[in-house]
Amino acid sequence: MSVSRTKNPRVVTTRTLTTMKRMGERIAMLTAYDYLVAKYLDQVGIDIILVGDSVGNVVQGHETTLPVTVDDMIYHAKAVKRAVKNALIVVDMPFMSYQTSIDDAVRNCGRVMKEVGVGAVKLEGGEYIADIVRHLVKIGIPVMGHLGLTPQSINKFGTYEVRAQDRREGAQVLRDAKVLEDAGVFAIVLEKIPSKLARNVSASVKIPTIGIGAGPFCDGQVLVVYDMLGLTEEFKPRFVRRYAELADILRGAFRTYIGDVKGKSFPTMKESY
């Protein structure tokens, strides 16, 4: 499947994802914040590219995602959009761009859809944002949900530890998933919750669940692209599988370049005009 997908990739829409869940085909999602990474992801047949507000951590160097603005998201999403032919692009709506009112949500999500031309937005939160989600979906803005560890609420949680380990919070996550499905989300990210709970949620809704640190029973998986490439070296939670060690490769290349410049072996006459 993956080989033919690479040669002849399909255009992924929100409807494709529902079909994938029904057919038991896993959904592969990664983040991207720039043109080149998005181009390579799209070339090899990624299903969804998330322009995550994790841009605040891994690109901008902030401690949390809270300082990210709608303008930041639009800037990065436009770069990603220029590279992508087939993947569904989903843009994270940043902290305080949709929680404040339906009007704010419409204005800010509307800007992202109109100015960038992406397929969908992602909002963090459960029951308490259901009315906002319902309205956005009604006016034609597809919404992906995000439950469990929701990094925009870090100041409420006080920690990035696994969420919903007790029954009460587990029941709330399940309830939130059903309410969001009823409000019209086309998929839900489940972040850092026990795999048993993620399995239960995935079996209880018809829309796909996309896990990050939520175990193998979700309908798809997502990782932050710089984590899986080994660029965020100090960040080593057990759910991040490293598919490359790019930090070492980058340092090696930079050291060699510095040595070549200082040793006067770069550039040669062949590399000159």
Going through 73-228 in order, the beta strands assigned E by DSSP cover 88-92, 120-122, 143-148, 187-191, 209-212, 220-223
Burial class of residue 16, CB neighbours in 10 A (0-12, 13-18, 19+): middle
CB nearer to ligand KIV: pick between 31 and 108: 31
**Shortest distance, position 268 Cβ to ligand KIV, whole Å:** 42
Catalytic member of 25, 124, 127, 191: 191
**Shortest distance, position 220 Cβ to ligand KIV, whole Å:** 11
Give the residue at shortest CB distance from ligand KIV.
52
CB nearer to ligand KIV: pick between 31 and 209: 31
Q: Which residue has the tokens 């956005």?
A: 136
Tell me, yes or no, if 191 is annotated catalytic: yes
Q: What are all long-range contacts of 243-252, with beta carbons under 8 Å and residues at least 24 apart?
A: none
CB nearer to ligand KIV: pick between 31 and 232: 31
Contact yes or no for 173/126 (Cβ under 8 A): yes
**Shortest distance, position 54 Cβ to ligand KIV, whole Å:** 3
Q: What Å distances lie between residue 197 and 178, 182, 224, 238, CA to CA?
A: 13, 19, 22, 18
**Shortest distance, position 225 Cβ to ligand KIV, whole Å:** 9
Residue 11 is given by DSSP the state P
Residues that bind ligand KIV (CB under 6 A): 31, 50, 52-54, 92, 189, 212, 222, 224
CB nearer to ligand KIV: pick between 89 and 252: 89
Q: Which residues contact 139 (CB under 8 A, 6 or more apart)?
A: 106
Q: Which residues are catalytic?
A: 191
